[in-house]
């Protein structure tokens, strides 16, 4: 993980490790891919080796859901979740994907905000 979160780096790393490093219904690779996608540009809090290769294997419906959670969480509806469940996703997997997406978006915003405060500019 990069040091873009400054004094929060250790806490951020611990949080990310607890979300990604514990057993779950979603594979670790999927949770990593979700977090990296939701984090957004310009970089991910995960190094290249931590990121893995799960991004290409994310089903399109899940990718769209991750984008919605990361950018417009207030627009997520019961119908979105029903459609994802009909596609074969369990409640537990969807919960883990949602947490990973929300964490990725939050850490991305934290890093970009702290960078802006340091005069590093703002990248959306």
Q: Which of 26, 22, 44 is nearest to 105 (CA)?
A: 44
Is the pLDDT at 47 greater than 60? The verdict is no
| Radius of gyration (C-alpha) of the chain in whole angstroms | 14
Q: How sure is the predictor about 121, in pLDDT bands with cuts at 50, 70 and 90? A: low
Whole-angstrom distance, CA of residue 80 vs CA of residue 28: 23
State residue 48's pLDDT score.
Answer: 44
Whole-angstrom distance, CA of residue 68 vs CA of residue 82: 15
Residues 63-73: tens digit of each pLDDT: 999 999 999 99
Give the mean pLDDT of the chain.
Answer: 84
Return the domain boundaries, the chain: 6-117
Residues 83-113: tens digit of each pLDDT: 999 999 999 999 999 999 999 999 999 888 8
State residue 115's pLDDT score.
Answer: 83
State residue 53's pLDDT score.
Answer: 42
Largest CA distance in the chain: 46
Per cent of the chain over pLDDT 90 is 62
Task: Identify the CATH number of the domain defined by range 6-117.
Answer: 1.20.1290
State residue 55's pLDDT score.
Answer: 44
Average pLDDT (33-52) is 67
């Amino acid at each position: 993980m990069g040091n873009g979160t400054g004094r929060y780096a250790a806490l951020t790393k611990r949080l990310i490790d607890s979300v990604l490093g514990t057993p779950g219904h979603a594979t670790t690779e999927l949770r990593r891919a979700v977090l990296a996608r939701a984090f957004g540009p310009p970089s991910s809090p995960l190094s290249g080796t931590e990121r893995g290769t799960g991004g290409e294997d994310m089903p399109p419906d899940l990718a769209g859901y991750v984008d919605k959670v990361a950018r417009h969480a207030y627009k997520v509806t019961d119908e979105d979740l029903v459609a994802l469940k009909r596609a074969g996703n369990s409640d537990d997997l969807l919960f883990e994907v949602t947490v990973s997406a929300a964490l990725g978006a939050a850490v991305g915003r934290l890093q970009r905000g702290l960078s802006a405060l340091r005069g590093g500019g703002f990248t959306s």
